[in-house]
Amino acid sequence: MAHGDPARAAALLLLDRWEENPVPVDELLAELDASLSDGRDQRFARQLVLGTLRWRLRLDWIIGHFCRRPVDELEARVLTILRLGILQVGFMDRVPERAAVHTSVELAKRHGARSASGLINAILRAFIRQPKRVRYPDPNGETARHLSLYHSHPQWLVERWLERLGREKTLRLVEANNLPAPVWLRPNPLRSTSAALCGELELEQGPGGYLRALEPRAVFRSPTYADGHFQIQDPSAGMAVDLLDPQPGERVLDACSAPGGKATQIAEKMDDCGVVVAADRSLQRLQRLRENTQRLHLHCIRPMTWDACTVGSPHFDRILVDAPCSGTGILGRHPDARWTKGIDQLPALVARQSKMLAAAFTHLRPGGVLVYSTCSLEREENEDVVEALLNETPTARIEEAREYLRNDERAARYAQALPGQHPGDGAFAARIRKVTT
């Protein structure tokens, strides 16, 4: 199998590792690419890994309809092989059913689960014969449970979204999260234009000047990428910098900067004139920022190691606090995160976000502007953090996003991008000015 079917074997081993130690799957995918020499194998293995993680809850629900034992009592590797098999049979049109069954049985035989090969064969064949045997909770009587199982999202999240967003927006949100995440390009206006890039790469126009890559792998191999003509960035990620509206010659702090997407966007909006202090606690992540800065030929960015919770004196005209968060707005791009987040994590995140925001505000000059942003959809991490600062800080005043993001349906008092409602990922941003009392 290692020689005859390297993609499936690599996907199985990676998923096994993730189940044992659920680190961000992006870290493991780089190793996956390195272990497979053939580009088609790399792409197929990635599809298997991300698809299995994305549909994990629904896959287990399906398996449960055809397995006499409770799913959670199955050996971990057997369950992973079954998930891979069900994924190929039920969710991947280009994989013949017979091939999905045969390769799953062979995976079991060659990777320590020979005794379960008969069970795997029987379950997959039963699903092929009787797919309609799978029943889901009533979408009207058990809306949250239905959306959770059918669209493979944690029920606690679905329940929160239903309460705040309503059924229609929640449905569109979970549907959007299960679509392949597109690769978006932000042209570097100091080196190129959208029209020029579209002439060289397979792209389509997106919102706000962003471009969607139709052939993502070609984008990264392009000389225009190496020469800094664009940065990879989701449209919703750029919303915070648009709201910040940095000007040439200013002194700007990006308080949680690495890997540098927003810092480089700030520098470009400033015509590379002024100072952008790009701060982050992680020296390793700052190295990625330096690489992006050099590639984009930007000179006004000053990387530095710094804890965003540090209180200081007012030195900056504008500050961006893109706070670490639960990431519930980017579950489409990071499907593994659905299964590693919990509601119990929110209080600690909120405490740190609040501390970061309050500390950053001390570095802002009177009259200056601070933008607080996250890639979370949760009110506790967004509106509540901002309102707490406004209530506790007499010099903090909200400036409504709709006044600065004109004709942008994402903007009201705050700016909020919602998957399924707007192009791109989910994100939140608030604009705060320091006034004199």
Kind of pairing between the strands at 396-399 and 427-434: antiparallel
Instruction: List the structure tokens of 337.
Output: 């995160």
As a whole number of angstroms, the distance between CA 219 and CA 209 comes to 17
What does the CA dihedral 174, 179, 180, 181 come to, rounded to 10 degrees?
-50
- Pairing status of strand 316-322 against strand 211-213: unpaired
Stated length of the chain = 437
Q: What span, in angstroms and rounded, lies between the C-alpha atoms of 267 and 293?
A: 9
Closest by CA to 346, choosing from 371, 378, 320, is 378
| 3-class DSSP assignment, residue 406 | coil
Helix intervals (H) in 258-309? 261-269, 283-295
- Tokens matching residue 178: 């299960």
Q: Does the active-site annotation cover 375?
A: yes
| DSSP letter for each residue of 13-75 | HHHHHHHHS---HHHHHHHHHHH--SHHHHHHHHHHHHHHHHTHHHHHHHHHTT-SS-GGGS-
Buried b (16+ CB within 10 A) or exposed e, 102-134: ebbbbbbebbebeebbebbbebbeebeeeeeeb
Which residue out of 67, 300, 325, 375 is catalytically annotated? 375
Half-sphere exposure of residue 300, counting CA atoms within 13 Å on the CB side?
A: 23
Distance CA 287, CA 268 (A): 19
Euclidean distance between CA atoms 124 and 89, whole angstroms = 8
Q: Annotated active-site positions, please?
A: 375
